[in-house]
Amino acid sequence: KFKRKDKITKVRNFVCFLYWVCVEYCCFLLPKCEFFLEGDEDEDTCTISQEDIAEAVDITSGAKYFNLKLTQFGPYRVDYSKTGRQLLLGGRRGHLACFDWQTKQLMCEINVMESISDVKWLHTDSMFAVAQKQWLYVYDSNGIELHCIRKFNDVLRMQFLPYHFLLATASATSFLQYLDVSTGKEVAAICTKTGRLDVMCQNPHNAIIHLGHSNGTVTLWSPNQKEALVKMLCHQGGVRSVAVDKMGNYMVTSGMDKKLKVFDIRALKPLTSYFLPAGASCLSLSQRGLLSAATGDVVQVYRDVWSTPVTKPYMAHRVRGSVWGLQFCPFEDVLGVGHGEGFTSMLVPGAGEPNFDGLDANPYRSAKQRQEWEVKALLEKIQPELISLDPTDLGRVDRATFEQRHQEKVQSLGFDPHAKEKFVPKFKKKGRSSAGAVERRKKQVAHVDQRDKVKMEEQQKRKEAKKAALSRRKSALDRFKK
């Protein structure tokens, strides 16, 4: 018994040490670069235009601000690949284009002759999924149609879960379907019975899908349950957009009641609520916690939405058409906006994560590195059964099974093998084991477990009383209180 306890403490200490090493590495050894935009005292940063910023920075960064004028084929949906190098554009009237947006090298450009509701990259830049008018199509990066999946019909929105290789689709017929893109099988088809699903986002921390509905509720789904895991009433009107931060702590929603609300998604509590004069139709959160909200043809970027109360936007930009798609580029200070008149890439200093991990998403990876990464990622593909609200569920002690097994053992044996033996006081010589002395010794040991419990309860009570005493507001009228 002692050996196991020692082992556990040793392991725990070692894990703490490792954690400390990682924190030291991340905080002190990695190049720390604070990127920002600062105006002078009178000037608001939101009045600084993109052209000014593009002129002020170096050529390569300045080239990251550009506009693509594509007026013919309707408002555009945008998706950046996981490494942030490739960009996929899907126009409402069927225009599809994927290219490397930094070198402007076009990979493919086709017109699918049907209306497109959403586009999504799959795990690499070699395949992407397009939700067309009737069915779901998968294309190669050269524009060749690979699959037409008829089971997935009337898809409005899609989300790709990269570590599970699952493509989650939300349809107009209120079905939420999961497709495993490595095996090609449909993992789950959930009838949500909540109407047309056109607001969708994923929680990158635990792979839960958030759906927003027209009655103001946001529901959380996992492929293992037929009912929603959580149903939250967020807005008084319909929900227009949802976004979750990468650590899975905060959820930002915007609704028809022109409010922008921030929730703590772990405790399921509202944190702050802001009023936007025109509401926000699209939301996107960057890797460093910047929030972009689009209303009509204006895109506003806010900083630190959850910690400090925000009064004005960090940056703002007006695009040509009404905004249809919004996404921050993963490891760059760039925000991609798809709108009615094409695509705009705008500079947002401080949005991207400066230090990427070479083994996970590496924008500078070679073909060989990509191949190795793909094989390893497929081997580590997480089964959909493990998706739950708490991703560390597997690491918990399974007390329920232990209790069940213990009960079965007691039943089969007839006695409890773990039960404490009755205390038999040691027989002492020289008259020290008289009846009274033995009784006294027995009393010392009696009710030990109850005593501990009572002690703990008393301690807790004292703590609470202290807390209450501190929090009570001191007013002049206190002396009259009884």
**Positions that interact with other proteins (CB under 8 A):** 22, 25-26, 30-40, 43, 48, 52-53, 56-58, 60-61, 163, 204-207, 246-247, 331-333, 347, 349-350, 352-364, 366, 368-369, 379-383, 386, 391-395, 412-415
Helix (H) or strand (E) holding 108: strand 105-111
Instruction: State the minimum distance, in angstroms, from the CB of residue 228 to other proteins.
Output: 22
- The nearest distance, CB 168 to other proteins, in angstroms, is 16
**d(C-alpha 320, C-alpha 343), whole Å:** 9
- 61 or 134: whose CB is closer to other proteins? 61
Q: Is 394 helix (H, G, I), strand (E, B) or coil?
A: helix
Nearer to other proteins, 60 or 311 (CB): 60
**Contact present, 234 and 218 (Cβ < 8 Å):** yes
Calpha distance 141→124 (Å, rounded): 10
Comparing CB distances to other proteins, the nearer of 395 and 431 is 395
How many whole angstroms separate alpha carbon 337 and alpha carbon 323? Answer: 7
Smallest separation, CB 301 to other proteins (Å): 14
Spatial separation of the C-alpha atoms in residues 361 and 355, rounded to whole Å: 11
CA–CA distance, 226 with 74 (Å, rounded to integer): 36
When the beta carbons of 33 and 424 are compared against other proteins, the nearer one is: 33
Least distance (Å) between residue 349 CB and other proteins: 5
CB of 453 to other proteins, least distance (A): 29
Residues 221 and 260 sit within 8 Å (Cβ to Cβ):
no
Kindly state the smallest distance separating residue 173's Cβ from other proteins, in Å: 31
Query: Which residues are CB-neighbours of 192 under 8 A, at least 6 positions away?
Result: 174, 175, 176, 211, 219, 221, 228
Residue closer to other proteins by CB (options 59, 476) is 59
Q: Measured from the CB atom, is 55 or 464 closer to other proteins?
A: 55
Amino acid at 369: Q
Residue 140 or 353: which CB sits closer to other proteins?
353
**How many whole angstroms separate alpha carbon 325 and alpha carbon 3?**
58
Q: How far is CA 426 from CA 163, 420, 449, in A?
A: 61, 17, 21
> In this complex, which beta carbon is closest to other proteins, that of residue 93 or of residue 288?
288
CB 301 within 8 A of CB 310: no
CB of 355 to other proteins, least distance (A): 4
Question: Smaller CB distance to other proteins: residue 132 or 286?
Answer: 286
**Least gap, CB of 124 to other proteins (angstroms):** 18
Dist. CA 38–CA 24, nearest whole Å: 29
Q: In this structure, what token pair is assigned to residue 332?
A: 């760059």
Output the smallest distance, CB 207 to other proteins, in A: 7
Element housing 283 (H / E): strand 282-285
- The span from the CA of 217 to the CA of 237, in Å, is 9
Contact 254, 274 (CB under 8 A): no
